[in-house]
Structure 1
Amino acid sequence: MKPTYKALLIDLSGVLYVGDEPIPEAVTTLEKLRSMDLVLRFVTNTATQNHQNIITKLHKMGYKIDSQELFTAPIAAKQYIKANNLRPFCLIHEALKEDFSELDQHQPNCILLGDAREQLNYRTLNKAFQLCMAGSLLIGIGKNKYFKDKQGLMLDAGAFIHALEWAANTQAIIMGKPSYTFFTQAVRSTTFSPKECLMIGDDVESDVIGAMNAGLGGCLVRSGKYQVGDDKKLPATAHIIDSFSRLMSML
């Protein structure tokens, strides 16, 4: 039977892998999905690796993914900054700095905040706060609360963005999930309508609810950052599966 959905938007961390280890049976599941002629997009807020490094990491795990299938929040943020002739104060991970080095960063009039890890300290956050108070735009690569790594649950950039919004009485522009704009851009790249696209993720709010608010179907995976009780937050029409390997039976 042909699936209702014609395109799948698939989260990476927590769905296809955790840390450097692929989710069991996920590689073979992805191969089966490709045999169904589904359009695939791999969407991520990952802000600790550049585009090519993400592709390389996936290839090493055995996933066959083309570069044009990867849709990342950092690239969306860079396009937004360039289109609006902004000069960012970049609070981003070291791995992304080369990708943003071509941008004019003198006398910044916006703040770009991502998962900068140890650089998210009082000195840098206070500078971001001062820029916000002076009227600069606050741009978030994503607004996830936390993620799961091999070290366990890890605090993500969303907590720091929320703190700046509250302290400076401002509203951040979010380039990644759960942004309506981000999902709309990802859907547009598939040539299908939102209702023909299914988002699969382990984050009930950023992945599933965010996608469904943009008109997509949503599927929560009980892996990665999934927590007991997340099921109760889901809209009635959402799907839920135990792992990515169970997606075939759902479709």
Structure 2
Amino acid sequence: MIHGVLLDLGGVIFVGDKALPGAVDAVARLRERRLPLRFITNTTRTPLPGMRDKLAAMGLEIAAEEMFMPAVAARIRLQAERLRPHLLVHPALQGEFQGLTGTRGTAVVIGDAGRYFDYDSLNAAFRALNGADDFLALARNRTFQDADGELSLDAGPFVAALEYASGRTATVLGKPSGDFFRAAVDSLGVAPETAVMVGDDAESDVAGAQAAGLQGILLRQGKYRAGDEAGIAPPPTAVLDDLPAAVDWILARAR
């Protein structure tokens, strides 16, 4: 039985600024059945209010508490640990960290900075890691599907570069972190084995969710490439064409 649903955003609900065919209606069908929902994204170029506005423009009204984003998790951790951030993130995301002056030390925080990744910014982060109290990666996805439909480098390769250079290992706050998935499921009030994650990334979405005890549906759209499902073990619970097909699968198994 399925008691709760986690949905990826990019490549599942939209690509660029356009909703994928049938995606908005598919979410509406889940709401009609009153299935608890959370929207899970590793997007680190857009802050939470901006993402909600983007979805609203597509016809999806999402409450703030329904959204799980790595920047929110990072801010909570920095506040709890009383750390000030050294940011290597997209300028659009910097406002999420305003007011975090810290009293105990420094944390290097890296997200998808896009074209703002350059030698100077990476070298400054590398130098900051010498003596930093924490090293946080908002995500470590290898690639994402860009607005032109092609794959582009995500934050993961840059996280790996800093790990290699510094000899330190980053704590990943977004997918595929088990803590990230478990926090989302806990907020639904359901057991992990009765929740399902729907995504287009076999590694971060499906394998990460299944390692945390959830079921996983891999969609053949977005960043999916033929044969991706063969690269993870165990295999996805299901491999389907799109979100409408996934909702059919879920509703057939929903309480």
1:36 and 2:33 aligned: yes
The equivalent residue for 2:18 is 21
User: Is the contact made by 1:211 and 1:218 (CA closer than 8 Å) also made in structure 2?
Assistant: yes
Which whole-Å deviations, capped at 9, do the CAs of 1:141-180 have from their partners, x for residues lacking one? 1111110021321101111001111121111011100011
1:54 and 2:54 aligned: no
Shift of 1:236: 3.6
Shift of 1:232: 0.9
Counterpart among 69, 90, 106 of residue 87 in structure 2? 90
User: Is the contact made by 1:89 and 1:105 (CA closer than 8 Å) also made in structure 2?
Assistant: no
1:153 and 2:151 aligned: yes
> Counterparts in 2 of 1:1-251, with a 5 A limit?
4-104=1-101, 109-151=106-148, 152-234=150-232, 235-236=234-235, 238-251=237-250
Which whole-Å deviations, capped at 9, do the CAs of 1:47-81 have from their partners, x for residues lacking one? 11111111111111112322221111110011111
Paired residue secondary structure (1:87): strand
Shift of 1:135: 4.6
With structure 1 as the length reference, what TM-score do the two structures score? 0.94
Runs of 4+ deviating beyond 3 Å: 105-108, 133-136
Shift of 1:37: 1.5
User: Is the contact made by 2:207 and 2:236 (CA closer than 8 Å) also made in structure 1?
Assistant: no
CA RMSD of the aligned region, Å? 1.6
How many residue pairs match? The answer is: 248
Which whole-Å deviations, capped at 9, do the CAs of 1:98-151 have from their partners, x for residues lacking one? 121111179962210001112211111112112223354210011111100213
User: Is the contact made by 2:108 and 2:132 (CA closer than 8 Å) also made in structure 1?
Assistant: no
Aligned partners of 1:128 and 1:137: how far apart in 2?
12
Aligned partners of 2:12 and 2:159: how far apart in 1?
25
User: Is the contact made by 1:89 and 1:108 (CA closer than 8 Å) also made in structure 2?
Assistant: no
User: Is the contact made by 1:91 and 1:112 (CA closer than 8 Å) also made in structure 2?
Assistant: yes
What stretches of structure 1 of length at least 5 have no aligned partner?
none
With structure 2 as the length reference, what TM-score do the two structures score? 0.93
